[in-house]
Structure formats: structure tokens, C-alpha cells
Amino acid sequence: MWRPRIVAFFCKWCAGAAAEAAGVSRMHYDPSVIPIIVPCTGRVSPEMVMHAFLNGADGVLIGGCHTPNDCHYIAGNFKAFKRIYMLRKLLQQAGIEPERLRIEWISATEAVKLVRVVNEFSETIRRLGPLGGKHA
């Protein structure tokens, strides 16, 4: 039975901390999302996202700090936003559902939001189905 494969890039200061807080509070969420911790969402390149899709990811989730001022490195989240915005346009133009790529701002205190986003996104990907390829 197909299970969605989702790679998440969480920045260690905000979304990553929120994910840990969710753990400490024993909040349960969909296990389809595998987290990779990055120092900042600004570190996430479009190549990393596409590499994930090419290697079997059905969805990619990026969790960072709230704009405008929460980013530990000042404006890395804006870089991530701009790149992902452009990448989503590219995907859409190519006929790949841009909903498969989602970027969210989740502060370290928003464990509830993290759980919601992970569950929502897993459901979205379930609905969209596998991206395709031999992994499907």
C-alpha cells in the first residue's frame, strides 16, 4: 500500500524546536514526514527540493521562522520564501502540483501549529497521490 513520502526541512531555531516541543508534549502526528534539520531555511536550495522529488519524495515541507523578524540569521526565511515561490511557479508551469511543496513559518512555541501543518500536509499529499516513478 502506498504511503506518502515527505521530506521536511526544519530550521533548528524555530520549526525544529517546535517539532521537539511537540515531542516533549507527546503530541502525535502523521509519520509520513521525515525531518532533516538545517541551520536556517535559507540553507535550503531549490536543488535540494528537486533532488528530494527525483529520489522519491511525494512532497517537500519547509518549516522556518516567522517573517519579518524571527529568523535567527536575520533574513534567511525571506531567501527561502523567494526561492520556493519561484520553484512553485516552475512546478506549476511544468504540470506538477505546486501543493507538493509547502513552506510554513512555525515558531519554537508553536508545537500545535507544527502538528497541524504536518498532518494537513500529509493528507494533502495522500490526496494528490504519488508523484510518480519507480518509487510509487
Q: 57 vs 125, which CB is nearer to other proteins?
A: 57
Kindly report the number of other CB atoms within 10 A of residue 1's CB atom: 2
Q: How far is the CB of 61 from other proteins (least distance, A)?
A: 13
Contacting other proteins within 25-54 (CB under 8 A): 26-29, 31, 34-36, 38-40, 42-48, 50-54
Alpha-carbon dihedral of residues 91, 97, 100, 104, nearest 10 degrees?
80
β-bridge pairing 101-105 and 33-38: unpaired
Q: Find how far residue 99's CA is from the centre of its chain.
A: 11
Contact call for residue 76 and other proteins (CB under 8 A) = yes
**Of the residues 19, 61, 117, 125, which one makes contact with other proteins according to CB under 8 A:** 19
Helices (H), 1-136: 15-24, 46-54, 76-93, 111-128
The one-letter amino acid code at 126 reads: R
Q: How far is the CB of 33 from other proteins (least distance, A)?
A: 9
The binding site for other proteins (CB under 8 A) comprises: 5, 7, 17, 19-20, 22-24, 26-29, 31, 34-36, 38-40, 42-48, 50-57, 67-69, 72-76, 78-79, 81-83, 85-87, 89-91, 93-96, 131-135
